Chain A
């Protein structure tokens, strides 16, 4: 192991970390903005809308994120009307394409997590809210959604980790994320281990941090579910 080469090129990994975090956080934020309405709408079981949403979720959960990214990055450029449209300014950048693919992907998984959590709302909570005169929208905003977020926390923590790991796909379409930095370092000095081992350790550390953060969050927001003695 040439530790000196890793240290010399530390800036490569610093920019890599910020790129990975930027991609992951932005995808998760956009994904959540899509997932919440999708989950609520699915709970309403509207005739046509439900079929469309189920199709979307099935398509994105049933295929590899790598292929979804290829379809958007390479695939859309096939069509002249896409290249001529105003969207081309957005779609010609690999970052934007990765962001679109990742957001739509994590939104599909998050929507299913949230739907399960929404459905698990105890009936009594809703009845109590109705009894004190809350409107359906107020019940949703004040009772069902906050409760669902709590219940979804452990599973969502997993999804965040999967998104972090999935974001490595970005390096395949030339984005310099953590994996991209590792591959660049290896390519520069014809190394086999150093860059990739560093990338692996960085991802491992980030995974631990996320797991710890969600663990802390769970202690705070799910305290009512633990046995009384340990509270």
Chain B
């Protein structure tokens, strides 16, 4: 039990890595979600089928398989290109691959969320705004976006909570996040139970705190909807 105190500072560093992966991949997922929601709403037939292909792969292939494919396949692909230019081999960073994979996967979920929220804003309001002569960018910023926020928040909360837990798999490609460090420390001290329990408490605290905060935000934005 004393061993966990000695490892305290290292584990706190690991928490920082886990949080950094989670925040950056959520930011990327939000960006991809916005882009692909727009494409599926406004794009032509080709762009719409690109979106369908993207969501099918991102949601139909397990996260761990995609991450390993991005990690090993990505490294091989980059080095093949580099070799063609006579450059030396490099190794890709598990941190970058982790963020890209999780952003890629959860972007597909958010694209669905954003699309649904956009379609849930009553058409009559858009028509009314057009009737009083609002330009389309203003309709978007004044009428559609403010309401989309409240409509998309439950899906956003859900995606964040699932993403948070998915960050654990990044340890499998060697990132020293909370899970990776606890696994190492557990094996070194022969006390894996203690360290994994610490990880479990860390995730429960994160889930509870961020879930609570986002649910409060949801309640605030539901007012008037």
| A contact residues vs B (CB 8 Å cutoff) | 58-59, 62-68, 70-71, 74-79, 164-166, 168-169, 171-172, 179, 182-183, 186, 192-193, 196-197, 199-200, 203-204, 207-208
Which of B190, B197, B204, B207 is A71 in contact with, Cβ under 8 Å?
Answer: B197
Cβ-based interface call for B89 (8 A): no
- Tell me which of B4-12, B39-47, B66-74, B95-103 binds A: B66-74
Q: Which residues of B contact A (CB under 8 A)?
A: 56-57, 60-66, 68-69, 72-73, 75-77, 165-169, 171-172, 179, 183, 186-187, 190-194, 196-197, 199-200, 203-204, 207-208
Could you tell me the distance between the alpha carbons of A126 and B110 in the complex, rounded to whole angstroms? 39
What's the least CB distance linking A107 to chain B, in Å? 17
- Top 7 A-B residue pairs of the complex, sorted by shortest distance between their CB atoms: A192-B76, A64-B168, A75-B193, A165-B62, A62-B207, A74-B192, A71-B196
Please name all residues of chain B whose beta carbon is closer than 8 Å to the beta carbon of A79 when the two chains form the complex.
193
- On whether the beta carbons of A207 and B196 are closer than 8 Å, the reply is no
* Contacts A62-B203, A74-B186; A182 near B65 (Cβ below 8 A): yes
Asked whether, in the complex, the Cβ of B194 is within 8 Å of the Cβ of A78, the reply is yes
A70 to B193, CA, bound (A): 9
Pick from B65, B167, B191: contact of A168, CB below 8 A: B65
In whole Å, how far is B133's beta carbon from the nearest beta carbon of chain A?
39
Task: List the count of A-B residue pairs having beta carbons below 8 Å apart.
Answer: 116
Contacts of A169 in B (CB 8 A): 64
Residue in B65, B166, B203 whose CB lies within 8 Å of A179:
B65
**Do the beta carbons of B192 and A78 come within 8 Å of each other?**
yes
How far, in angstroms, from A203 to B183 measured CA to CA in the complex? 28
Given contacts A62-B207, A165-B63, A204-B60, contact A196 B192 (CB under 8 A): no
A71 touches B193 (CB 8 A): yes
Please name all residues of chain B whose beta carbon is closer than 8 Å to the beta carbon of A171 when the two chains form the complex.
64
A182 to B66, CA, bound (A): 12
Main secondary structure of the interface of A (DSSP, over half): helix
Residue of A70, A166, A197, A208 with most chain B CB atoms under a 10 A cut-off: A70
A203 and B200: CB pair below 8 A? no
Contact A63 B64 (CB under 8 A): no
Known: A67-B199, A67-B200, A75-B192. Is A193-B165 also a contact (CB below 8 A)? no
Q: B183 and A196: CB pair below 8 A?
A: no
- Complexed CA–CA distance, A197 and B69 (Å): 7
Task: Give complex CA distance A78, B185 in Å.
Answer: 13
B126 to chain A, nearest CB (A): 27
A192 — nearest CB in chain B belongs to which residue? B76
From A67, A168, A186, B179 is in contact (CB under 8 Å) with A67
Q: Are A200 and B204 in contact (CB under 8 A)?
A: no
Neighbouring B residues of A182 by C-beta, 8 Å: 65
Given contacts A74-B186, A75-B192, A78-B191, contact A193 B73 (CB under 8 A): yes
Q: Which of A62, A77, A196 is in CB contact (< 8 Å) with B73?
A: A196
A62 pairs with B204, CB closer than 8 A: yes
23 residue pairs bridging A and B, Cβ less than 8 Å apart: A62-B165, A62-B207, A63-B165, A63-B200, A63-B207, A64-B168, A64-B179, A67-B200, A70-B192, A71-B193, A74-B187, A76-B193, A78-B186, A78-B194, A79-B193, A172-B172, A179-B62, A179-B68, A193-B72, A196-B69, A204-B56, A204-B60, A208-B60
Please give the distance in Å from A56's CB to the nearest CB on chain B: 12
Q: Contacts A168-B65, A186-B72 given; 11 further ones with Cβ under 8 A?
A: A58-B204, A62-B165, A63-B200, A70-B179, A70-B192, A75-B197, A78-B193, A78-B194, A179-B65, A192-B75, A204-B56
Residues of A within 8 A of B65 (CB): 168, 179, 182, 196, 199-200, 203
